[in-house]
Amino acid sequence: MDLLIKNGTIATGSQVFQADIGVDGCIVTHIGRDVRGPASRVLDAAGKFVLPGGIDAHTHFEMPFMGTYTADDFESGTVAAASGGITTIIDFAMQQKGYSLFDALETWRRKADPKVCVDYALHAVVTELNETTFDEIKRVVDYGVPSFKLYMAYRNEGLLLDDASIYRVMQEAAKYGGLVGLHCENEDLIGHFTSTLLKEGKTGAEYHPKTKPTIVEGEAVRRALALAEYAGANMYVVHTSSRLGREAIRDAQQRGIRAFAETCPHYLVFTDEVYARPDGMNFVMSPPIKKEADRASLWQGLAEGDVKTMGSDHACFTTQQKLIGRDDFTKIPNGVAGTEVIIPILYSQGVREGTISLNRLVQVTSFNPARLFGLWPQKGTIAVGSDADLVIFDPEKKVRLTVDNLHSRIDHSIYEDYTCLGYPAITICRGEIVQENGHFTGKKGRGKFLRRKPHADTRLQL
């Protein structure tokens, strides 16, 4: 065999057990108490956990946005991902007005294929619904992209889709087992709060969260749920940031609506006090970070299981790019880095403090996204026959999340003062060691495009 991992403690979405793992080529071929070689390389994982590689279903690499481009491309972004134990990312192919969904998928594949260092898949973002795009929905699912993303906000950026179009996409995608992801914020309320503040001369980054109080997300989530229920669709709320949003999704789930919540690491670590800091602009993203009660509720959702996934919403900008909005917070490019910190933060702050179990960490970082996005059982677990996407996680490794220790291209880290206890020591992607002790050891362009499966019976259960 090519790789033998000895003496590790394996954690999947449902089990924790001691075993060795044998890998041949890209695939796990042996799991057992005493797997013997010979093997080209043997790793001793005594005292360490072996986790399924993380799936970050929410990245924006090399994306044109707010007059500039996100700073990480598919190379630096996926090096960062691999360094944090993420072995699959799902990025968003943004439909440009006047172009088809396939144009966007092709554009994104041209950007990603030569550079991507871990495996990747794409979501199709629908920004304009016309007869061409409507007819494309089935073909996009058949192409291996059974998930769509719709924006209820960002009218000025050309992303907002009206409610009738949202409903129509939901109804059409539902026919083919597709999943519809939504950015839920009420655009009209944001516009009202923004113009009021600007008229009062309030232009600093500290006013950004005031334009998007919790009702802005809460109302939009409820509206999206109502549309999805009527359309009979599976829906996914990206970057859930508030108690109101989370509770609306949880209550809908309890009524049998197939709605799933994602949250992001920054909502679990910070509160909106960060916007008053001198570097407040670096925390400008949408939805903005909210109050302590929201932060606590999202942790509770992870613990209780109604928050299903962790995505990073990795869409970051350098200080120079952030300064575009120095005199007007509405012009600050929205977004932060995060793909590298998902697993370390969930472990340090969640597992170590007893809020979530190690199995839950694996569920929200790997098993659930694999199930929801049609990658399971190739991804999302450690099993004979599955891809050898593995993280050897050292529970005693201490890493401060400074700009120097992280791999994004940006020149700052919002987690500068955050020290993790527990960190991925080695990341293995389809049998290949791509990260060892913070050093990327893979090759640019080695990642593969993954064609994903729709939900066969079209009724998604998790």
Residues that bind Zn ion (CB under 5 A): 313
* Residue found by looking up tokens 């083919």 in the block: 176
Closer CB to Zn ion, 313 or 394, in the complex: 313
Closer CB to Zn ion, 56 or 313, in the complex: 313
Decide: 12 and 371 in contact? Cβ < 8 Å. no
Tokens representing 257 are: 């609506």
Decide: 176 and 141 in contact? Cβ < 8 Å. yes
One-letter identity of residue 461: Q
Nearest approach, Cβ of 378 to Zn ion (angstroms)?
25
Closer CB to Zn ion, 185 or 313, in the complex: 313
E-assigned strands of 267-407?
307-310, 390-400
How far are the Cα atoms of 201, 338, 416 from residue 341, in angstroms, in the given order?
36, 5, 12
Nearest approach, Cβ of 186 to Zn ion (angstroms)?
17
Decide: 344 and 337 in contact? Cβ < 8 Å. no
Closer CB to Zn ion, 149 or 452, in the complex: 149
Closer CB to Zn ion, 112 or 434, in the complex: 112
How far are the Cα atoms of 8, 190, 197, 202 from residue 194, in angstroms, in the given order?
53, 6, 5, 9
Closer CB to Zn ion, 184 or 233, in the complex: 184
One-letter identity of residue 237: V
Q: ω before 114 within 30° of 0 (cis)? A: no
Strand 390-400 relative to strand 307-310, pairing: unpaired
Nearest approach, Cβ of 340 to Zn ion (angstroms)?
16
Residues 6 or more apart whose CB falls under 8 angstroms from that of 319 comprise 282, 410, 411, 412
Closer CB to Zn ion, 330 or 427, in the complex: 330
Nearest approach, Cβ of 238 to Zn ion (angstroms)?
6
Closer CB to Zn ion, 219 or 313, in the complex: 313
HSE-up of 189 (CA within 13 Å, CB side)? Answer: 16
The 10 Å Cβ neighbour count of residue 369 is 28
**Which of 80, 96, 17, 87 lies closest to 54 in space, CA to CA?**
87
Nearest approach, Cβ of 58 to Zn ion (angstroms)?
6
Nearest approach, Cβ of 422 to Zn ion (angstroms)?
27
Closer CB to Zn ion, 286 or 381, in the complex: 286
How far are the Cα atoms of 11, 102, 200, 363 from residue 16, in angstroms, in the given order?
4, 42, 57, 13
Q: ω before 424 within 30° of 0 (cis)? A: no
Decide: 79 and 89 in contact? Cβ < 8 Å. no
Nearest approach, Cβ of 16 to Zn ion (angstroms)?
32
Nearest approach, Cβ of 383 to Zn ion (angstroms)?
31
Residue nearest to Zn ion (CB): 313
Closer CB to Zn ion, 75 or 313, in the complex: 313
Nearest approach, Cβ of 313 to Zn ion (angstroms)?
4
How far are the Cα atoms of 127, 348, 400 from residue 393, in angstroms, in the given order?
40, 12, 16
Nearest approach, Cβ of 319 to Zn ion (angstroms)?
21
- 238 DSSP 8-state letter: T
Q: Report the alpha-carbon distance of residue 223 to residue 252 in Å, rounded.
A: 12
Closer CB to Zn ion, 211 or 435, in the complex: 211
Nearest approach, Cβ of 60 to Zn ion (angstroms)?
6
Q: Which residues pair with 91 in a beta bridge?
A: 59, 122
